[in-house]
Structure 1
């Protein structure tokens, strides 16, 4: 009923598809192409391995068909709506969510209707929105890193304030990202929206990377040092744990991707000098520290692998994954910082992406890998 009329879409805050505003509204500051490091010869063996039984998630509607590169886009867009229940920017002239890479339909999670039109806040100046993400890896690499990249590229004019819009209840990673920007002296205002509110922005900061392979959206390694400085400022008053040269990141008691046999693996890794750590939203400062100082990092495939982006000095990443459900995510993130990468597999994937391992066999594989990298 609302699909053909922008006015009806705005009345019920239902924006079911994507599009790009007309050229008159867009000040395009950057549209650059980043070719990925995983195509380098040094990663050819590992890439062939993870490409077998590949379950990378693809965007069939992306207009950029090359899975080995991404478009980095920075734009200032005039006259944008931001509904509080989805926090996705919308062009009020068309009633479409703003996306540079596609004109396809949106999924329900980012488009469902809500009474947001009952309370509209008009915000002058430049506005950016951070949608609610539950996945640490995608929030960090797909949303926060491109925003850090845009700010690092001086998208803010002298004397200009940026209003960052988030949900009323925001997770600690986003809260500390905003705090770090403020502590570093950037003129940042933080506006929290309730689900029934929306913002009418004078200008919107669109900072995103686009790739048809959704495992490879991260494309802004130039912003890593700047992003590190943001979080270091946010966590300046927090004590850091003792670092270790070898780290194993366990998934703990998560609902998905439990590893049967991990307890025995952990004991074997402890005997090889690995420190066992677990990530949470509340210990992000520790995650940055662990990965910054370690020379060898091992982890089960998952969101926590994104922490490899904080590593320094060409470390080694060992990724444990199911035999029949391999993704290029870890290889991509490792390659973008120039890290070495080695995959290790367990058994086939079962319900809730769980799989089992033969701990002795995995430890033999780890020993063989460590022998190939004696300095680690």
Structure 2
């Protein structure tokens, strides 16, 4: 989240108290709950499960160096989201979970599974869901769907679309989905053309997969809803085993006819973005240009170019943001330099780089303002580029 809110601001605002009043009235009357599709109670997927496909608990290697462990523990942990205690060890406990809920109702306005038999919205570790997952709204009913169905997350964020929607689906299809069983992917409204394209590519690549739009004013009863999750105690650490990421990258490359070879150097600009702008970007770009970098800004209409450049990159410089989700297309060994303001560091792409075999580095600038606009010391970038360009 770009602008971190205080506990006071989270609790004392109109939205919060409106939701509390809704829960106290509609949420306690069964007829009203059903009429407005408002279900504030949460139920754990393992409790709601009709079938457990996978429940793997393991100690996963972080692959962090001691310096990286300290960076995550001391700098990133306060800014990473939904984190639990981690002391910086060489492994982290993880749980991969795949279950089905049968029967189920899929709610478009909150993009959640409702388990009628348990009377709650399926969600991890929460007894009462908040206003993001329980909203009072009258929904029209779509025709019921037979077979197994997966509701994708509602997102306009490129990183989340890749690593919380598409990669988990690929992982499931490659490892678990029974051959010949139809799978319906329900897609909530999203402005991301790349997400729509990714779903279409899965439809083409995997027999039996089909994509159905789920409007935010609709609900649908399904015979069997699929739930997929990965929990490492840190929401920044996503489904990111190399195999499903590479498979998804392959589908996009084939579509755009991109060959994963070359020696591009990319200075990944945030352009006119309001959040996390580099205030001295032009000066930093002058330094990068001396080392053979090409400046590039991602837009909604140049996804093919994003896939091409990152597939052919040998080095990438970029400020933390969703656009670095394009690291999914990088080849193992690609060098990554992520830039942060002093007061906003996250471990998202360090974790991803370790999973994909990328050579990750970070540089920290001065404090960011309310919109996290910041300045990076030009000497830091010059020194890092000289270090990485030096012969081994």
TM-score normalised per structure 2: 0.83
In 2, Cα distance between the equivalents of 1:51 and 1:61? Answer: 11
In 1, the alpha carbon distance for the partners of 2:48 and 2:288 equals: 58
| Alpha-carbon separation, structure 2, partners of 1:161 and 1:34 | 30
- Label 1:73 to 1:125 Cα distance change in 2 as closer, same or farther (>3 A): same
* Bigger relative CO (Cα 8 Å, ≥ 6 apart): 1
Q: Distance in 2 between matches of 1:304 and 1:61?
A: 26
Aligned to 2:94: 70
Match of 1:166 among 187, 193, 198: 187
Q: 1:327 aligns with which of 346, 356, 368?
A: 346
**Deviation, structure 1 residue 320:** 0.9
Q: Which residue of 1 aligns with 2:5?
A: none
Residues 83 and 235 in structure 2, CA contact (< 8 A), matched pair in contact too: no
> Counterpart of 1:186?
207
Listed as ranges, the gaps of 5+ residues in structure 2 are 1-24
Number of corresponding residues: 363
Deviation at 1:206, TM superposition (A): 1.4
Q: Give the equivalent residue in structure 1 for 2:332.
A: 313
Q: Alpha carbons of 1:36 and 1:318: their partners in 2 closer, same or farther (altered >3 Å)?
A: farther
Q: Deviations for 1:113-156, whole angstroms, at most 9, x for unmatched residues?
A: 2111x32431111111112212211221122211111011141x
**Contact kept in structure 1, 2:53 and 2:176, CA below 8 Å:** no
Displacement, 1:16? 2.3
- How far the C-alpha of 1:103 sits from its partner, in A, is 2.6
Q: 1:338 aligns with which of 354, 357, 380?
A: 357
Task: Quote the Cα distance in structure 1 between the aligned partners of 2:48 and 2:130.
Answer: 28
> In 1, are the aligned partners of 2:152 and 2:185 still within 8 Å (CA)?
yes
1:138 maps to 160
Alpha-carbon spacing, 1:22–1:256, altered in 2? closer, same or farther (3 Å): closer
* Aligned counterpart in structure 2 of residue 11 of structure 1, from 35, 40, 43: 35
After superposition, the C-alpha distances for 1:20-67 in whole angstroms (9 at most, x for unaligned) are 357685211112246554344xx22133234433333342689xxx99
SS across alignment from 1:298: strand
What's the secondary structure of 1:225's corresponding residue?
helix
Match of 1:103 among 86, 103, 126: 126
Which residue pairs with 1:175 in the alignment? 196
Would you say the 8 A contact 2:103–2:224 is kept in 1?
yes
Flag the 1:161–1:140 CA change in 2: closer, same or farther, 3 A. Answer: same
The answer as to whether partners of 2:318 and 2:337 remain within 8 angstroms in 1 is yes
1:209 partner SS:
strand
Aligned partners of 1:246 and 1:273 also within 8 Å = yes
Change (3 A) 1:368 1:212: same
Q: Which residue of 2 aligns with 1:198?
A: 219
1:268-279 aligned within 5 A = 268-279=287-298
Aligned mates of 2:155, 2:336 — CA distance in 1: 25
Superposition RMSD in Å: 2.7
Contact 1:27 1:76 in 2 (8 A): yes
Q: Is the deviation greater in 280-289 or in 193-202?
A: 280-289
1:231 deviates by: 2.4
Listed as ranges, the matches of 1:76-115 within 5 Å are 76-99=100-123, 101-115=124-138
Counterpart of 1:232 in structure 2 is 253
Instruction: Give 1:245 shift.
Output: 2.8
TM-score by length of 1: 0.87
Aligned 8 A contact 1:15 1:96 in 2: yes
CA deviation string 1:153-182 (max 9, x = no partner) = 141x33222111112555212211121012
What are the equivalent positions in structure 2 for 1:360-375 lying under 5 Å apart? 360-371=379-390, 374=391
